Amino acid sequence: MGFTTAVTTCFQKYVDFNGRARRSEYWWFVLFVILAAIVATILDHIIDPPPAGVPFSIGIVYGLVVLACFLPGLAVEIRRLHDTNRSGWWLLIAFVPFLGALLLLIWFCFKGTAGDNKYGADPLKAT
């Protein structure tokens, strides 16, 4: 799955928390969100520069990007956990300082379960 396909899929499945997401879908979407946040920050600084001495301020464009990407990001994270045969509720482990985020990062990097699991068909066999 390529960059544009992954981003398109994530926005088409805007609030679809069912099924599975392969690693490429998740990581391409993460890259898209990072790039969109950088572009939004630059645009915010051009439109309304922060006051002198303030290194960073959150502007309207950045806020809109965050709002637009929040639900598809949450959905793809849950589908990615489903691919590893874990419930989406495991996202709550992120609230455990450091270890929770590290554990999620490891799970997001691992290959999903081969074949069908209780969350759906193997997304790698669908291609």
The model's pTM: 0.88
pLDDT of residue 51: 78
Residue 115 located in a structural domain: no
Compute the radius of gyration of the chain from its Cα atoms. Answer: 17
pLDDT of residue 53: 78
- Full DSSP string of 7-54: HHHHHHTTT--SS---HHHHHHHHHHHHHHHHHHHHHHHHHSPPPTT-
Whole domain around residue 96: which residue ranges? 3-109
The residue ranges of the chain whose pLDDT is under 50 are none
Residue 114 located in a structural domain: no
Residue 49 located in a structural domain: yes
pLDDT digits (tens, 9 = 90+) for 26-38: 999 999 999 999 9
Residue 125 located in a structural domain: no
Residue 64 located in a structural domain: yes
Residue 13 located in a structural domain: yes
pLDDT of residue 126: 61
Q: How many domains are there within the chain?
A: 1
Residue 126 located in a structural domain: no
Residue 77 located in a structural domain: yes
